[in-house]
Amino acid sequence: MTPPTVLTIAGSDSGGGAGIQADLRTLFACGVHGLTAVTAVTVQNSIGVTGIVEIPPDVVAAQIEAVAVDIGIGAAKTGMLANADIIVAIAGAADRVGIGRGGGIPFVVDPVSASMGGDQLLQDNALDALRSELFPRATVITPNLDEVRLLTGIEVTDMATQRDAAKALFDYGPEWVVVKAGHMKNVDDCVDLLYDGSTFHELPGPRFDTGNTHGSGDTLASSISSALARGLPVPEAVAFGKRFIVRSVQNSYPLGKGHGPVSPFWRLSQEEV
């Protein structure tokens, strides 16, 4: 039986810890077939990024349309999108193939715009394009707290400001907002917040003492996308993603001299072949 499909639109990570590589690992572990549209090729390892080559916007759009017309897309997600022109091209391709609101294909937008250290990765015009082009098309958006600050100007320090951020992000047009709390270091638990414009849903989880969290945002967004591709409603899909990322962080491993990746391998059998 052919499994559901999920398209990841993101950059490549030569260290294999994040980006499209993390997406494909997660999608495989979740039992779905991963499709790809590469937005950029990065030169990176566990220590950091030392180079990037951006893919021409028309080539990014062509990748999306090629898999849509032949294979079909059960759900789609974004990761690092590099620049405003690529974002605009993705929005156009999404409309043409039915991704996002009005098109029927669930669309998870992970607005990757800050590094692990909180540094801005996208130019201001690309942040504007995220807000104007992709958020109104999104089924779910999944920013971390550094990305919330860049996108809304709100510094989230507690549950009250986390709710304020969710409201501000919802005003940009997505159907649902997930405000992740992994970077809220002043609290013991990690309580992510899901918001649909009227109701807040708290998604609690433990906080693990590890520096090996590379690719955590990609892994969460991909696991949510896999659940949406299987037909789960958004609250259930996000709850699945939360459970998946908790176990993936719990089973993270050291790699190289810097930050190791979270691991979706916990979901695979440990039996010898």
Domains of the chain: residue spans and CATH: 5-266 (3.40.1190.20)
Nearest residue to 63 (alpha-carbon basis) of 55, 74, 51: 55
Q: In this predicted structure, what is the pLDDT of residue 273?
A: 46
Percent of the chain with pLDDT over 90: 84
Per-residue tokens: 78: 């974004």
β-strand 192-195 against 176-179: which pairing, if any? antiparallel
Q: Is the pTM of this model over 0.85?
A: yes
Angle between helices 234-250 and 216-229 (to 10 degrees): 140
**Residue 177 pLDDT exceeds 80:** yes
Q: In this predicted structure, what is the pLDDT of residue 225?
A: 98
What is the chain's mean pLDDT, rounded? 93
pLDDT tens-place string over residues 231-244: 999 999 999 999 99
**Residue 116 pLDDT exceeds 70:** no
Q: In this predicted structure, what is the pLDDT of residue 141?
A: 98
Q: In this predicted structure, what is the pLDDT of residue 50?
A: 87
Q: Are 33 and 75 in contact (CB under 8 A)?
A: no
pLDDT tens-place string over residues 199-251: 999 999 999 999 999 999 999 999 999 999 999 999 999 999 999 999 999 99
Q: Are 23 and 10 in contact (CB under 8 A)?
A: yes
Q: Is 212 exposed, middle or buried (0-12, 13-18, 19+ CB in 10 A)?
A: buried
| Rounded Cα gap, residues 241 and 224, in angstroms | 5
**Residue 118 pLDDT exceeds 60:** no
Query: Which of 51-55, 115-119, 156-160, 189-193 has the least mean pLDDT?
Result: 115-119
pLDDT tens-place string over residues 131-168: 999 999 999 999 999 999 999 999 999 999 999 999 99
